[in-house]
Structure 1
Amino acid sequence: MPLSDEVFSMPKELKQILHGAKSGVIPCRRLSHLVHAATNKTDALDEWNAYAYESRYTFPDAGEIRLFPIVAYHLGDQLHQADNQSWFNLSTDCDETHSTKLREAQTSVEVLLHDAGIPFMWTKGTALANELYPKHHLRPSSDLDALVPWESLAALEDLAAKRGWTYKLGQGVVARNARYHGSEMSWEIDGGIHLDVCWMPRLPFTFDPLAMNWIFEQGGSQDTSYANPTWLLLEAFEHGLCANVVSPIRWVVDALWLINQRGAEIDWQMFFTLTERYQLHCFSKIGLAILDAFTDKIPKDVVRAIEAMPVSALQRDECLMRVATPSNATEYFASLKYNRALRAPKAIYATKITSPLARHAGLSWRLRGKIGFRNLHARLIWPVSRHFN
């Protein structure tokens, strides 16, 4: 089915935001066949062959390759009839050995967090792979994603220090400062696995370190160690729609699996409330409009209610920064305009402005061979943000 702007009942300002974004944000016809093959077992063979035909002048990127395991599972005995069968051997992080290693690390972290008395919930890809997919290796992932209450972060840092975990960011002093101003920290744990821990649902408009605690009070999914389906759907939009160097279409597949498998558990009133609370109007509008082209299981009154939500200039600027892939100058001025409007600690404003400037300056200098600093943006963020504490 050809997909274009006309398919989506999307406000004009959102179409303008998506103009110039990575092609995978709104699946084109070629990628829509892959999405159907990954979510519809009955038509998997026809959709895969259509995708292979549409890809005859191109080659799948890493974003597409991540979907091949679930397509192969859907094909089953029909795999030998599929075109371009060699493509199913391209993914290197979807084998059961890697998946088992990741699962063992997850179990180990669960024990450590329980013993330390640290509340947690698995979220993002970790929750989706284990809660939705027939086998967890069918949704390849490179790390573990967890939610932890902000007030438990000091205990988590102590645990990380005792276990010898290393900060994934490479600048420990920046990472430690992040829990006061940011939304997540990352470690490399035993076995080289990366553990990403967040305590806020997104980079904040207004810094509120307790913003995510409601999810621990409400409880999780069928297994209480996993975030509930309502949050996972909103998170798929917020996290998946961001511009990427690969086709970011797996969020569409994840969201469709959520709706098909756990749709009855999604609290749409809560979804609407969370969209307003975290000012994710643009992301929910875009996400639901795209999903509505693939499934009829989303209540139409929900789609209409989300479409009717007003979008502020601040929200459009932020969505432009995250969904589109603008030039360096566009990114800087959008960041400047966006962060000036924030009601947040000055450290966030300073960090957000300093980071793109330093990153682009550092890249430019390194390319010219004049300055060899690594992580230049991280080196500048810390002293600038500390100045405003």
Structure 2
Amino acid sequence: MQSQPSPLTPREAVYRILGSLWEPASLPAGEDIPWEGVLQIVGPSNVVALAHVLTEPLRDDMPQDVRNLLKQGFYQTAVSNTRSLRQLGVVGQMLAATGAPLLLLKGAALADTLYPDPALRLIGDIDVMVPPEWVGACCERLLAMGYTPTRVDERPGRLLEATNQIQFAPPRGSPVSVELHWHLLDVPYYMRRVPVAWFWEHSESLVIAGHTFRVLDAEANVLYLAAHLALHHGFRGLHSLLDLALLIVKIGARLDWDTVIEAAQRFDLVCALQGTLDHLAEAWPSLPINAPRCRLRRITPGRQDARLYRLLTSESRSTTLQFYAGLISMPGLAARMRYIGMHVFPQPAYMRERYGFTASWQLPFWYLYRLGDGLRRLARTIPSARRAQGRKKASP
């Protein structure tokens, strides 16, 4: 007697629904889909509008409440993207007036280039990168537009070495934040290791929202999106995984895997690239990525590559885990001490904003509190991360 196939899990159903965008035969039968579980996954995601469109042929098998919520997500995405693109045009024009070259990242660039309709992928915030020497001028222009930084610098004049971006909250009447980048990765080791000039060299011009931006070419986007998904989000991000799948499907045999893998080796991103391709293969087995996966398995990653990958994908990202990852990758004792000093004893303005006190006499107390709280968090985070690293290292 032939055994019955196992019922689809919600995540398997989501992957098959989204995969039907390029492989229509993968769309499951409506009666086989666990609709409530699917809604829990795609409802809060950036691709709820796409899920609504792809499941329309199954509407007769779909619970009415699920269909209503997917349709609601579709219209909310359309409204949000209209606002984002309108604001992108304004921001692009104002920043370009400074003379800075602008490289558009993530949602706004990918929705326009990868999806059959930009309305099917939520754009969210505006992510734009400029060369480091243009950060000051662009910050001044955003401030003049009414944008405000969401945080105070930990040390005055150390912004460019402390992080890879600054987030600006929108002015009144605009719901769209701006993240101004000068590097693509926020891990201090990779801010030193990865030459951002390589990504500028691997970019091309594209008109979006009525303004000409630079966008990453296919090879640079594969490497960046893989590193971002792995090291920033620990593979938690359905839309990011789908972005990569659509990019690989769109470019097909024209994708220069030699360039991608060579750069991954140079930049110590072999593990991030390999891990991301493994997740893609698990989600959509028909993707043409078996050859690069085999090549990557034959490469021995560098020590810091493997160490940081295991650490940053071992558990959900936290400020404590990020601090520890930055600390252990600092080159030498002096650099580590400066790193500790900058993060444990930031400037008084940062402390006042972070902890909400006003009296100057309270400052020493809050520094002691920050030190003790940080040590407590490290004592909890480090053993947990190391156990997870050990499990990941032992797994085949």
TM-score > 0.5 by shorter chain:
yes
- Greater alpha carbon shift after TM alignment, 230-239 vs 81-90: 81-90
* Alignment correspondent of 2:199: 215
Q: Conserved in 2, the CA contact under 8 Å of 1:146 and 1:198?
A: yes
Q: Conserved in 2, the CA contact under 8 Å of 1:272 and 1:306?
A: yes
* Alignment correspondent of 1:34: 14
Does structure 1 residue 88 correspond to structure 2 residue 70? yes
| Structure 1 SS opposite 2:215 | coil
Deviation at 1:243, TM superposition (A): 7.3
**Alpha carbons of 1:351 and 1:147: their partners in 2 closer, same or farther (altered >3 Å)?**
farther
**Alpha carbons of 1:338 and 1:312: their partners in 2 closer, same or farther (altered >3 Å)?**
farther
* Alignment correspondent of 2:169: 188
Task: Give matches, 1:242-281, under 5 Å.
Answer: 248-281=237-270
Q: Conserved in 2, the CA contact under 8 Å of 1:143 and 1:193?
A: yes
Q: Distance in 2 between matches of 1:187 and 1:137?
A: 24
Q: Conserved in 2, the CA contact under 8 Å of 1:200 and 1:212?
A: yes
Does structure 1 residue 150 correspond to structure 2 residue 132? yes
* Alignment correspondent of 1:343: 331
**Alpha carbons of 1:239 and 1:340: their partners in 2 closer, same or farther (altered >3 Å)?**
closer
* Alignment correspondent of 1:6: none
* Alignment correspondent of 1:135: 117
* Alignment correspondent of 1:19: none
Deviation at 1:201, TM superposition (A): 2.5
**Alpha carbons of 1:216 and 1:53: their partners in 2 closer, same or farther (altered >3 Å)?**
closer
- Which of 310, 313, 324 is the aligned partner of 1:320? 310
Deviation at 1:242, TM superposition (A): 5.0
| Structure 1 SS opposite 2:184 | coil
| Structure 1 SS opposite 2:265 | helix
Letter in 1 for 2:199: I
For this pair of structures, how many residues does the alignment match? 336
Q: Conserved in 2, the CA contact under 8 Å of 1:220 and 1:226?
A: yes
| Structure 2 SS opposite 1:298 | coil
* Alignment correspondent of 2:278: 289
* Alignment correspondent of 2:90: 108
Deviation at 1:256, TM superposition (A): 1.0
**Alpha carbons of 1:337 and 1:244: their partners in 2 closer, same or farther (altered >3 Å)?**
closer
Q: Conserved in 2, the CA contact under 8 Å of 1:241 and 1:283?
A: yes
Q: Distance in 1 between matches of 2:29 and 2:157?
A: 47
* Alignment correspondent of 1:68: 48
Q: Conserved in 2, the CA contact under 8 Å of 1:188 and 1:195?
A: yes
| Structure 1 SS opposite 2:188 | coil
Q: Conserved in 1, the CA contact under 8 Å of 2:277 and 2:289?
A: no
Q: Conserved in 2, the CA contact under 8 Å of 1:94 and 1:140?
A: no
Q: Conserved in 1, the CA contact under 8 Å of 2:30 and 2:58?
A: no
| Structure 1 SS opposite 2:15 | helix
**Alpha carbons of 1:250 and 1:185: their partners in 2 closer, same or farther (altered >3 Å)?**
same
Task: Give matches, 1:172-187, under 5 Å.
Answer: 172=153, 177-187=158-168
* Alignment correspondent of 2:374: none
| Structure 2 SS opposite 1:226 | strand
- Greater alpha carbon shift after TM alignment, 70-79 vs 127-136: 70-79
Superposition TM-score, scaled by structure 2 size: 0.70
* Alignment correspondent of 1:361: none
Deviation at 1:152, TM superposition (A): 1.3
Letter in 2 for 1:342: M
| Structure 2 SS opposite 1:196 | strand
Letter in 2 for 1:177: R
Q: Distance in 2 between matches of 1:243 and 1:51?
A: 31
Deviation at 1:195, TM superposition (A): 0.9
Cα RMSD between the aligned structures?
4.1
| Structure 1 SS opposite 2:179 | strand
Q: Distance in 2 between matches of 1:151 and 1:70?
A: 39
Q: Distance in 1 between matches of 2:9 and 2:67?
A: 21
Q: Distance in 2 between matches of 1:312 and 1:175?
A: 34
Q: Distance in 2 between matches of 1:327 and 1:55?
A: 25
Q: Distance in 2 between matches of 1:348 and 1:237?
A: 30
Letter in 1 for 2:131: P
Letter in 1 for 2:204: G
Q: Conserved in 2, the CA contact under 8 Å of 1:67 and 1:250?
A: yes
Partner deviation per Cα, 1:131-156 (whole Å, 9 max, x = no partner): 11122221113201112111211221
Deviation at 1:322, TM superposition (A): 2.3
| Structure 1 SS opposite 2:40 | coil
Q: Conserved in 2, the CA contact under 8 Å of 1:133 and 1:139?
A: yes
Partner deviation per Cα, 1:211-245 (whole Å, 9 max, x = no partner): 21233334326656322122222222222235769
Which consecutive residues of structure 1, in runs of 5 or more, have no partner in the other structure?
Answer: 3-27, 356-364, 367-371, 382-389
Deviation at 1:129, TM superposition (A): 1.0
Q: Distance in 2 between matches of 1:175 and 1:141?
A: 32
Deviation at 1:103, TM superposition (A): 0.4
Q: Conserved in 2, the CA contact under 8 Å of 1:165 and 1:188?
A: yes
| Structure 2 SS opposite 1:185 | strand
Q: Once the two structures are aligned, what percentage of the paired residues are identical?
A: 14
Letter in 1 for 2:51: V
Task: Give matches, 1:302-381, under 5 Å.
Answer: 302-325=292-315, 336=324, 339-343=327-331, 345-346=335-336, 349-350=339-340, 354=344
Q: Distance in 2 between matches of 1:333 and 1:161?
A: 31
- Which of 210, 219, 243 is the aligned partner of 1:230? 219
Bigger relative CO (Cα 8 Å, ≥ 6 apart): 1
Q: Conserved in 2, the CA contact under 8 Å of 1:184 and 1:196?
A: yes
Deviation at 1:353, TM superposition (A): 6.8
